[in-house]
Chains A and B, each alone.
Chain A
Amino acid sequence: MTTATTDTPMVELKGVKKRFGDLEVLKGIDLKVERGKIVSIIGPSGSGKSTLLRSINNLEEIDEGSILLDGVQVNRPDLKGLAYERHINHIRQNMGMVFQHFNLFPHLSTLENVTLAPRKLKGMDARSARDLGLELLERVGLADKPSAYPNSLSGGQKQRVAIARALAMRPKVMLFDEATSALDPELVEEVNQVMKGLAEEHMTMLIVTHEMAFARDVSDWAMFMDGGVVVEENTPDRLFTNPDQERTCHFLRKHLGNQASAQMPS
Protein backbone atom coordinates (compact mmCIF):
# COMPACT_ATOMS: atom_id res chain seq x y z
CA MET A 1 0.00 0.00 0.00
CA THR A 2 1.15 3.48 -0.75
CA THR A 3 1.99 5.59 2.24
CA ALA A 4 -0.53 8.36 2.20
CA THR A 5 -0.05 11.77 3.69
CA THR A 6 -2.00 12.59 6.80
CA ASP A 7 -4.46 14.79 4.97
CA THR A 8 -5.56 12.00 2.62
CA PRO A 9 -9.08 10.96 3.68
CA MET A 10 -9.15 7.48 5.18
CA VAL A 11 -12.21 6.55 3.14
CA GLU A 12 -13.36 8.39 0.07
CA LEU A 13 -16.26 7.60 -2.27
CA LYS A 14 -16.75 9.37 -5.57
CA GLY A 15 -19.96 9.01 -7.58
CA VAL A 16 -20.64 5.45 -6.42
CA LYS A 17 -23.52 3.73 -8.22
CA LYS A 18 -24.87 0.26 -7.62
CA ARG A 19 -27.70 -1.58 -9.33
CA PHE A 20 -29.48 -4.83 -8.41
CA GLY A 21 -30.99 -5.76 -11.75
CA ASP A 22 -33.20 -2.85 -12.77
CA LEU A 23 -33.20 -1.33 -9.32
CA GLU A 24 -30.62 1.38 -8.70
CA VAL A 25 -29.88 1.29 -4.97
CA LEU A 26 -26.97 3.75 -4.93
CA LYS A 27 -27.42 6.70 -7.24
CA GLY A 28 -24.08 8.44 -7.13
CA ILE A 29 -22.75 8.70 -3.59
CA ASP A 30 -19.90 11.00 -2.53
CA LEU A 31 -18.49 10.57 0.94
CA LYS A 32 -15.33 11.36 2.86
CA VAL A 33 -14.17 10.03 6.22
CA GLU A 34 -11.07 11.84 7.52
CA ARG A 35 -8.64 9.78 9.58
CA GLY A 36 -9.64 9.47 13.22
CA LYS A 37 -13.14 10.70 12.50
CA ILE A 38 -16.46 8.99 12.97
CA VAL A 39 -19.22 9.24 10.39
CA SER A 40 -22.74 7.92 10.99
CA ILE A 41 -25.21 7.08 8.26
CA ILE A 42 -28.90 6.97 9.10
CA GLY A 43 -31.93 6.41 6.91
CA PRO A 44 -34.98 4.21 6.44
CA SER A 45 -34.54 0.54 5.53
CA GLY A 46 -34.04 0.16 1.81
CA SER A 47 -32.33 3.56 1.62
CA GLY A 48 -29.09 1.89 0.47
CA LYS A 49 -27.08 2.63 3.59
CA SER A 50 -26.16 -1.01 4.25
CA THR A 51 -25.37 -1.57 0.59
CA LEU A 52 -23.07 1.45 0.75
CA LEU A 53 -21.15 0.03 3.70
CA ARG A 54 -20.97 -3.43 2.10
CA SER A 55 -19.68 -1.85 -1.11
CA ILE A 56 -16.78 -0.26 0.76
CA ASN A 57 -15.85 -3.76 1.96
CA ASN A 58 -16.44 -4.99 -1.60
CA LEU A 59 -19.06 -7.48 -0.40
CA GLU A 60 -21.09 -5.78 -3.13
CA GLU A 61 -19.30 -4.80 -6.32
CA ILE A 62 -20.18 -1.30 -7.44
CA ASP A 63 -21.14 -0.50 -11.02
CA GLU A 64 -19.76 3.03 -11.30
CA GLY A 65 -17.59 5.47 -9.40
CA SER A 66 -14.62 4.78 -7.18
CA ILE A 67 -13.90 3.89 -3.58
CA LEU A 68 -10.56 4.73 -1.98
CA LEU A 69 -9.15 3.44 1.27
CA ASP A 70 -6.30 5.62 2.50
CA GLY A 71 -5.63 6.74 -1.05
CA VAL A 72 -5.71 3.22 -2.53
CA GLN A 73 -8.50 2.31 -4.91
CA VAL A 74 -10.71 -0.52 -3.58
CA ASN A 75 -12.79 -1.28 -6.66
CA ARG A 76 -10.56 -2.27 -9.55
CA PRO A 77 -12.54 -3.13 -12.68
CA ASP A 78 -9.21 -3.40 -14.52
CA LEU A 79 -8.10 -6.43 -12.48
CA LYS A 80 -9.34 -9.91 -13.32
CA GLY A 81 -9.26 -13.36 -11.75
CA LEU A 82 -6.56 -14.12 -9.21
CA ALA A 83 -4.96 -10.67 -9.34
CA TYR A 84 -8.32 -9.17 -8.39
CA GLU A 85 -8.80 -11.71 -5.60
CA ARG A 86 -5.39 -10.94 -4.17
CA HIS A 87 -5.99 -7.21 -4.33
CA ILE A 88 -9.39 -7.46 -2.61
CA ASN A 89 -8.13 -9.78 0.12
CA HIS A 90 -5.28 -7.39 0.82
CA ILE A 91 -7.58 -4.36 0.93
CA ARG A 92 -10.04 -6.11 3.22
CA GLN A 93 -7.31 -6.88 5.73
CA ASN A 94 -7.14 -3.14 6.34
CA MET A 95 -10.85 -2.82 7.09
CA GLY A 96 -12.77 -4.24 10.02
CA MET A 97 -16.38 -5.12 9.32
CA VAL A 98 -19.00 -5.73 12.01
CA PHE A 99 -22.27 -7.33 10.95
CA GLN A 100 -25.81 -7.02 12.23
CA HIS A 101 -26.00 -10.76 12.91
CA PHE A 102 -22.45 -11.02 14.30
CA ASN A 103 -21.48 -13.93 12.02
CA LEU A 104 -19.11 -15.37 14.59
CA PHE A 105 -17.55 -18.68 13.58
CA PRO A 106 -19.50 -21.20 15.70
CA HIS A 107 -16.89 -23.94 15.40
CA LEU A 108 -14.19 -21.79 17.00
CA SER A 109 -13.82 -20.53 20.57
CA THR A 110 -13.95 -16.78 21.13
CA LEU A 111 -10.17 -16.60 21.33
CA GLU A 112 -9.85 -18.63 18.11
CA ASN A 113 -12.40 -16.37 16.44
CA VAL A 114 -10.18 -13.42 17.21
CA THR A 115 -6.83 -15.02 16.40
CA LEU A 116 -7.72 -16.95 13.23
CA ALA A 117 -7.12 -14.08 10.82
CA PRO A 118 -3.82 -12.77 12.29
CA ARG A 119 -2.48 -16.33 12.45
CA LYS A 120 -3.48 -17.43 8.98
CA LEU A 121 -3.24 -14.15 7.11
CA LYS A 122 -0.33 -12.43 8.84
CA GLY A 123 1.50 -15.60 9.82
CA MET A 124 1.52 -14.56 13.47
CA ASP A 125 2.87 -17.30 15.75
CA ALA A 126 0.51 -18.98 18.19
CA ARG A 127 1.87 -17.26 21.30
CA SER A 128 1.76 -13.69 19.98
CA ALA A 129 -1.68 -14.36 18.50
CA ARG A 130 -2.89 -15.60 21.87
CA ASP A 131 -1.50 -12.52 23.62
CA LEU A 132 -3.12 -10.26 21.05
CA GLY A 133 -6.41 -12.16 21.29
CA LEU A 134 -6.53 -11.98 25.08
CA GLU A 135 -5.67 -8.28 24.98
CA LEU A 136 -8.51 -7.60 22.54
CA LEU A 137 -10.99 -9.72 24.50
CA GLU A 138 -10.09 -7.73 27.57
CA ARG A 139 -10.64 -4.52 25.66
CA VAL A 140 -14.20 -5.60 24.81
CA GLY A 141 -14.76 -6.76 28.38
CA LEU A 142 -14.63 -10.52 27.74
CA ALA A 143 -11.28 -11.43 29.24
CA ASP A 144 -12.94 -14.22 31.21
CA LYS A 145 -14.35 -16.01 28.14
CA PRO A 146 -11.47 -16.97 25.85
CA SER A 147 -12.48 -20.63 25.61
CA ALA A 148 -16.25 -20.15 25.44
CA TYR A 149 -17.97 -21.05 22.18
CA PRO A 150 -20.26 -18.54 20.43
CA ASN A 151 -23.41 -20.62 21.05
CA SER A 152 -23.01 -20.08 24.79
CA LEU A 153 -22.75 -16.27 24.55
CA SER A 154 -25.45 -13.61 24.69
CA GLY A 155 -26.03 -11.41 21.64
CA GLY A 156 -24.16 -8.51 23.21
CA GLN A 157 -21.20 -10.73 24.05
CA LYS A 158 -21.20 -12.16 20.55
CA GLN A 159 -21.09 -8.72 19.01
CA ARG A 160 -18.26 -7.66 21.27
CA VAL A 161 -16.26 -10.74 20.21
CA ALA A 162 -17.03 -9.84 16.60
CA ILE A 163 -15.59 -6.36 17.20
CA ALA A 164 -12.46 -7.86 18.77
CA ARG A 165 -12.18 -10.20 15.78
CA ALA A 166 -12.29 -7.26 13.38
CA LEU A 167 -9.76 -5.30 15.46
CA ALA A 168 -7.30 -8.19 15.44
CA MET A 169 -6.17 -7.30 11.93
CA ARG A 170 -5.27 -3.78 13.10
CA PRO A 171 -7.62 -2.20 10.57
CA LYS A 172 -7.36 1.39 9.37
CA VAL A 173 -11.11 1.79 9.51
CA MET A 174 -13.99 0.00 11.21
CA LEU A 175 -17.30 -0.47 9.39
CA PHE A 176 -20.36 -1.10 11.56
CA ASP A 177 -23.43 -2.43 9.72
CA GLU A 178 -26.32 -1.97 12.18
CA ALA A 179 -24.22 -3.58 14.87
CA THR A 180 -26.90 -3.30 17.56
CA SER A 181 -30.09 -3.82 15.52
CA ALA A 182 -30.37 -7.54 16.26
CA LEU A 183 -29.77 -7.14 19.98
CA ASP A 184 -32.25 -7.15 22.82
CA PRO A 185 -32.60 -3.55 24.10
CA GLU A 186 -30.84 -4.24 27.39
CA LEU A 187 -27.76 -5.55 25.53
CA VAL A 188 -27.32 -2.54 23.23
CA GLU A 189 -25.49 -0.43 25.77
CA GLU A 190 -22.56 -2.84 26.33
CA VAL A 191 -21.82 -2.81 22.59
CA ASN A 192 -22.22 0.96 22.41
CA GLN A 193 -19.70 1.31 25.25
CA VAL A 194 -17.12 -0.69 23.30
CA MET A 195 -17.69 1.50 20.25
CA LYS A 196 -17.34 4.63 22.34
CA GLY A 197 -14.06 3.25 23.67
CA LEU A 198 -12.83 2.91 20.11
CA ALA A 199 -13.93 6.46 19.39
CA GLU A 200 -11.87 7.75 22.28
CA GLU A 201 -8.83 6.00 20.81
CA HIS A 202 -9.46 7.86 17.55
CA MET A 203 -10.31 4.82 15.48
CA THR A 204 -11.72 5.86 12.11
CA MET A 205 -15.27 4.56 11.95
CA LEU A 206 -18.18 4.46 9.56
CA ILE A 207 -21.39 3.53 11.34
CA VAL A 208 -24.71 2.56 9.81
CA THR A 209 -27.22 2.62 12.63
CA HIS A 210 -30.75 3.01 13.90
CA GLU A 211 -29.57 4.35 17.24
CA MET A 212 -30.07 8.07 16.76
CA ALA A 213 -29.02 9.10 20.24
CA PHE A 214 -25.84 7.07 20.03
CA ALA A 215 -25.05 8.38 16.54
CA ARG A 216 -25.49 11.95 17.69
CA ASP A 217 -23.40 11.35 20.75
CA VAL A 218 -20.44 9.65 19.18
CA SER A 219 -20.03 10.93 15.63
CA ASP A 220 -18.20 13.85 14.08
CA TRP A 221 -20.35 13.92 10.99
CA ALA A 222 -23.81 12.50 10.18
CA MET A 223 -25.47 11.66 6.90
CA PHE A 224 -29.09 10.97 6.08
CA MET A 225 -29.70 8.64 3.14
CA ASP A 226 -32.96 7.88 1.38
CA GLY A 227 -33.73 6.28 -1.97
CA GLY A 228 -30.08 5.68 -2.82
CA VAL A 229 -28.91 9.28 -2.39
CA VAL A 230 -27.44 11.31 0.46
CA VAL A 231 -30.32 13.66 1.20
CA GLU A 232 -28.47 15.72 3.74
CA GLU A 233 -25.24 15.71 5.73
CA ASN A 234 -24.08 17.89 8.54
CA THR A 235 -22.64 17.92 12.05
CA PRO A 236 -24.72 15.59 14.21
CA ASP A 237 -26.00 18.42 16.39
CA ARG A 238 -27.32 20.23 13.38
CA LEU A 239 -28.64 17.20 11.48
CA PHE A 240 -30.47 15.67 14.41
CA THR A 241 -31.91 18.86 15.85
CA ASN A 242 -32.38 21.22 12.98
CA PRO A 243 -32.30 19.45 9.61
CA ASP A 244 -32.60 21.47 6.41
CA GLN A 245 -34.59 18.95 4.43
CA GLU A 246 -38.23 18.05 4.87
CA ARG A 247 -37.46 14.32 4.28
CA THR A 248 -34.88 14.27 7.05
CA CYS A 249 -37.26 16.01 9.39
CA HIS A 250 -40.02 13.57 8.52
CA PHE A 251 -37.75 10.55 9.06
CA LEU A 252 -36.43 11.79 12.37
CA ARG A 253 -39.86 12.60 13.69
CA LYS A 254 -41.26 9.23 12.63
CA HIS A 255 -38.28 7.18 13.71
CA LEU A 256 -37.20 8.71 16.93
CA GLY A 257 -40.54 8.70 18.64
CA ASN A 258 -40.18 9.78 22.20
CA GLN A 259 -36.65 8.57 22.61
CA ALA A 260 -34.93 11.51 20.94
CA SER A 261 -37.60 14.08 20.43
CA ALA A 262 -36.89 14.97 24.02
CA GLN A 263 -33.42 15.96 22.88
CA MET A 264 -34.79 18.01 20.04
CA PRO A 265 -35.47 21.56 21.01
CA SER A 266 -37.56 22.00 17.84
Chain B
Amino acid sequence: MELMDINLMMEITPLLIKAAWITIDISARGLFFGFFIASALVAMRSSRFFPIRSLARAYVSVVRGTPYFVQLLLVFYGGPAIGLRLDPFTCGVVVGAFNIGAYMSEAIRGAIESVDSGQNEASRSLGFGRFATLQHIILPQSAGLMIRSIGVLAIILVKNSSLVSIISVVELTYQAQRLIGSTYKPLEVFTLSALMYIVIIYAVMGLVEFLYRRATRYTYL
Protein backbone atom coordinates (compact mmCIF):
# COMPACT_ATOMS: atom_id res chain seq x y z
CA MET B 1 0.00 0.00 0.00
CA GLU B 2 1.41 3.33 -1.00
CA LEU B 3 1.61 6.29 1.37
CA MET B 4 -0.64 8.62 -0.57
CA ASP B 5 -2.98 8.28 -3.52
CA ILE B 6 -1.21 10.48 -6.08
CA ASN B 7 -3.85 10.05 -8.77
CA LEU B 8 -6.55 11.24 -6.45
CA MET B 9 -4.45 14.22 -5.47
CA MET B 10 -3.98 15.20 -9.11
CA GLU B 11 -7.69 14.84 -9.62
CA ILE B 12 -8.78 17.10 -6.76
CA THR B 13 -6.09 19.75 -7.17
CA PRO B 14 -8.07 21.90 -9.65
CA LEU B 15 -11.08 21.89 -7.32
CA LEU B 16 -8.94 22.99 -4.39
CA ILE B 17 -7.20 25.70 -6.42
CA LYS B 18 -10.56 27.10 -7.42
CA ALA B 19 -11.61 27.07 -3.78
CA ALA B 20 -8.33 28.69 -2.76
CA TRP B 21 -9.17 31.62 -5.04
CA ILE B 22 -12.39 32.13 -3.09
CA THR B 23 -10.33 32.13 0.13
CA ILE B 24 -8.00 34.75 -1.34
CA ASP B 25 -10.90 36.77 -2.74
CA ILE B 26 -12.86 36.87 0.52
CA SER B 27 -9.74 37.68 2.57
CA ALA B 28 -8.51 40.40 0.21
CA ARG B 29 -11.89 42.12 0.18
CA GLY B 30 -12.16 41.80 3.94
CA LEU B 31 -8.72 43.35 4.36
CA PHE B 32 -9.54 46.17 1.93
CA PHE B 33 -12.77 47.20 3.64
CA GLY B 34 -11.31 46.42 7.05
CA PHE B 35 -8.62 49.03 6.42
CA PHE B 36 -11.25 51.74 5.91
CA ILE B 37 -13.17 50.63 8.98
CA ALA B 38 -9.93 50.69 10.97
CA SER B 39 -9.05 54.18 9.69
CA ALA B 40 -12.51 55.43 10.65
CA LEU B 41 -12.09 53.91 14.12
CA VAL B 42 -8.67 55.53 14.54
CA ALA B 43 -10.14 58.90 13.53
CA MET B 44 -13.00 58.40 15.98
CA ARG B 45 -10.59 57.48 18.77
CA SER B 46 -8.79 60.81 18.34
CA SER B 47 -11.99 62.84 18.12
CA ARG B 48 -12.55 65.86 20.33
CA PHE B 49 -15.94 64.51 21.39
CA PHE B 50 -16.09 62.06 24.25
CA PRO B 51 -19.17 60.13 22.99
CA ILE B 52 -17.49 59.44 19.64
CA ARG B 53 -14.28 58.32 21.33
CA SER B 54 -16.21 56.02 23.68
CA LEU B 55 -18.28 54.57 20.87
CA ALA B 56 -15.15 53.55 18.94
CA ARG B 57 -13.53 52.21 22.09
CA ALA B 58 -16.64 50.16 22.98
CA TYR B 59 -16.87 48.78 19.45
CA VAL B 60 -13.26 47.62 19.48
CA SER B 61 -13.67 46.09 22.93
CA VAL B 62 -16.82 44.15 22.00
CA VAL B 63 -15.44 42.86 18.69
CA ARG B 64 -12.20 41.75 20.32
CA GLY B 65 -14.03 40.26 23.28
CA THR B 66 -16.35 37.96 21.32
CA PRO B 67 -15.52 35.07 18.97
CA TYR B 68 -15.34 35.81 15.24
CA PHE B 69 -17.32 32.63 14.68
CA VAL B 70 -20.21 33.86 16.85
CA GLN B 71 -20.14 37.23 15.06
CA LEU B 72 -20.42 35.42 11.76
CA LEU B 73 -23.34 33.28 12.91
CA LEU B 74 -25.06 36.29 14.48
CA VAL B 75 -24.95 38.33 11.28
CA PHE B 76 -25.76 35.47 8.92
CA TYR B 77 -28.54 33.75 10.85
CA GLY B 78 -29.62 36.58 13.13
CA GLY B 79 -29.25 39.39 10.58
CA PRO B 80 -32.60 38.77 8.85
CA ALA B 81 -34.35 39.48 12.17
CA ILE B 82 -33.16 43.08 11.90
CA GLY B 83 -33.62 43.27 8.12
CA LEU B 84 -30.03 42.41 7.24
CA ARG B 85 -30.03 39.73 4.57
CA LEU B 86 -26.62 38.94 3.12
CA ASP B 87 -25.56 36.16 0.81
CA PRO B 88 -22.90 33.92 2.38
CA PHE B 89 -19.94 35.39 0.48
CA THR B 90 -20.89 39.00 1.20
CA CYS B 91 -21.55 38.08 4.81
CA GLY B 92 -18.06 36.60 5.06
CA VAL B 93 -16.50 39.75 3.60
CA VAL B 94 -18.56 42.12 5.77
CA VAL B 95 -18.07 40.29 9.07
CA GLY B 96 -14.40 39.69 8.26
CA ALA B 97 -13.91 43.40 7.52
CA PHE B 98 -15.72 44.61 10.63
CA ASN B 99 -13.87 42.06 12.76
CA ILE B 100 -10.36 42.68 11.44
CA GLY B 101 -11.05 46.43 11.32
CA ALA B 102 -11.29 46.52 15.11
CA TYR B 103 -7.95 44.76 15.52
CA MET B 104 -6.38 46.83 12.76
CA SER B 105 -7.43 50.10 14.38
CA GLU B 106 -5.38 49.09 17.42
CA ALA B 107 -2.44 48.17 15.19
CA ILE B 108 -2.59 51.51 13.37
CA ARG B 109 -2.90 53.44 16.62
CA GLY B 110 0.05 51.54 18.05
CA ALA B 111 2.17 52.35 15.02
CA ILE B 112 1.23 56.02 15.13
CA GLU B 113 1.96 56.23 18.85
CA SER B 114 5.35 54.57 18.33
CA VAL B 115 6.60 57.73 16.61
CA ASP B 116 8.55 59.94 19.02
CA SER B 117 6.45 62.83 20.33
CA GLY B 118 9.28 65.23 19.42
CA GLN B 119 8.39 64.64 15.77
CA ASN B 120 4.91 65.96 16.35
CA GLU B 121 6.25 68.98 18.24
CA ALA B 122 8.83 69.80 15.59
CA SER B 123 6.22 69.64 12.87
CA ARG B 124 3.65 71.68 14.78
CA SER B 125 6.26 74.28 15.68
CA LEU B 126 6.92 74.80 11.96
CA GLY B 127 3.24 75.63 11.56
CA PHE B 128 1.88 72.33 10.24
CA GLY B 129 -1.65 71.47 11.39
CA ARG B 130 -2.72 68.17 12.93
CA PHE B 131 -3.65 66.56 9.63
CA ALA B 132 -0.62 67.82 7.70
CA THR B 133 1.62 66.55 10.51
CA LEU B 134 -0.02 63.12 10.27
CA GLN B 135 0.34 63.11 6.50
CA HIS B 136 3.90 64.37 6.07
CA ILE B 137 5.62 63.39 9.31
CA ILE B 138 3.85 60.71 11.36
CA LEU B 139 2.46 58.32 8.73
CA PRO B 140 5.67 58.00 6.69
CA GLN B 141 7.53 57.09 9.88
CA SER B 142 4.92 54.66 11.20
CA ALA B 143 4.30 52.97 7.85
CA GLY B 144 6.84 50.19 8.41
CA LEU B 145 5.45 49.04 11.72
CA MET B 146 1.92 49.48 10.41
CA ILE B 147 2.61 47.26 7.39
CA ARG B 148 4.04 44.49 9.57
CA SER B 149 1.13 44.53 12.03
CA ILE B 150 -1.42 44.60 9.22
CA GLY B 151 0.45 41.67 7.67
CA VAL B 152 -0.02 39.64 10.84
CA LEU B 153 -3.72 40.50 10.78
CA ALA B 154 -4.00 39.60 7.10
CA ILE B 155 -2.72 36.11 7.92
CA ILE B 156 -5.25 35.81 10.74
CA LEU B 157 -7.93 36.94 8.29
CA VAL B 158 -6.94 34.20 5.83
CA LYS B 159 -7.12 31.58 8.58
CA ASN B 160 -10.40 32.99 9.90
CA SER B 161 -11.89 32.80 6.41
CA SER B 162 -12.03 29.03 6.86
CA LEU B 163 -14.96 29.60 9.21
CA VAL B 164 -17.21 30.90 6.43
CA SER B 165 -17.36 27.29 5.26
CA ILE B 166 -19.97 26.91 8.01
CA ILE B 167 -22.31 29.28 6.15
CA SER B 168 -21.51 27.24 2.99
CA VAL B 169 -19.17 29.51 1.10
CA VAL B 170 -17.25 27.11 -1.13
CA GLU B 171 -13.78 28.18 -0.06
CA LEU B 172 -10.76 26.04 0.70
CA THR B 173 -11.84 24.48 3.99
CA TYR B 174 -15.39 23.85 2.75
CA GLN B 175 -14.05 22.10 -0.34
CA ALA B 176 -11.56 20.14 1.76
CA GLN B 177 -14.26 18.93 4.12
CA ARG B 178 -16.51 17.96 1.20
CA LEU B 179 -13.67 16.05 -0.50
CA ILE B 180 -12.72 14.23 2.68
CA GLY B 181 -16.34 13.15 2.97
CA SER B 182 -16.56 11.93 -0.62
CA THR B 183 -13.12 10.34 -1.06
CA TYR B 184 -12.41 9.04 2.46
CA LYS B 185 -8.81 10.17 1.96
CA PRO B 186 -8.28 12.75 4.70
CA LEU B 187 -4.47 12.73 4.52
CA GLU B 188 -4.33 13.49 0.80
CA VAL B 189 -6.96 16.22 1.01
CA PHE B 190 -5.45 17.73 4.13
CA THR B 191 -1.95 17.76 2.64
CA LEU B 192 -3.07 19.60 -0.46
CA SER B 193 -5.34 22.11 1.23
CA ALA B 194 -2.78 22.79 3.98
CA LEU B 195 -0.21 23.38 1.25
CA MET B 196 -2.47 25.96 -0.36
CA TYR B 197 -2.99 27.82 2.89
CA ILE B 198 0.77 27.79 3.40
CA VAL B 199 1.37 29.18 -0.09
CA ILE B 200 -1.17 31.96 0.48
CA ILE B 201 0.29 32.84 3.87
CA TYR B 202 3.86 32.87 2.60
CA ALA B 203 2.82 35.05 -0.33
CA VAL B 204 1.32 37.52 2.16
CA MET B 205 4.49 37.39 4.27
CA GLY B 206 6.67 38.03 1.21
CA LEU B 207 4.56 40.96 0.11
CA VAL B 208 4.61 42.41 3.63
CA GLU B 209 8.40 42.13 3.80
CA PHE B 210 8.74 43.82 0.41
CA LEU B 211 6.48 46.70 1.43
CA TYR B 212 8.20 46.96 4.82
CA ARG B 213 11.58 47.38 3.18
CA ARG B 214 10.25 50.06 0.87
CA ALA B 215 8.60 51.93 3.73
CA THR B 216 11.69 51.86 5.94
CA ARG B 217 14.30 52.43 3.23
CA TYR B 218 15.22 55.78 4.80
CA THR B 219 16.59 54.07 7.91
CA TYR B 220 19.54 52.61 6.01
CA LEU B 221 20.21 55.44 3.59
Contacts and interface: CB of A to CB of B under 8 A. Distances in A.
Interface stretch (B59-67, B116-124, B185-193, B204-212): B116-124
B218 interface: yes
B129 A89 contact: yes
Contacts of A120: 128, 132, 136
B127 A117 contact: yes
Contact of A59 (B125, B127, B128, B140): B125
Contacts of B126: 92-93, 97, 116-117, 121, 165-166, 169
Contacts of A90: 127
B127 A89 contact: yes
Interface stretch (A27-35, A99-107, A190-198, A214-222): A99-107
Contact of A105 (B129, B132, B137, B221): B137
A121 B137 CA distance: 14
Nearest to B127: A93
B12 to A, nearest CB: 49
Contacts of A117: 126-128
A57 interface: yes
Given A106-B141, A116-B136, A121 B128 contact: yes
Interface string A44-65: 0000000000000101000000
Interface of A: 57, 59, 81, 85-86, 89-93, 95, 97, 99, 101, 103-109, 116-117, 120-121, 149, 151-152, 162, 165-166, 169
Given A86-B129, A92-B127, A103-B119, 10 more contacts: A57-B125, A89-B127, A92-B124, A99-B118, A99-B121, A103-B118, A106-B141, A107-B141, A116-B136, A169-B127
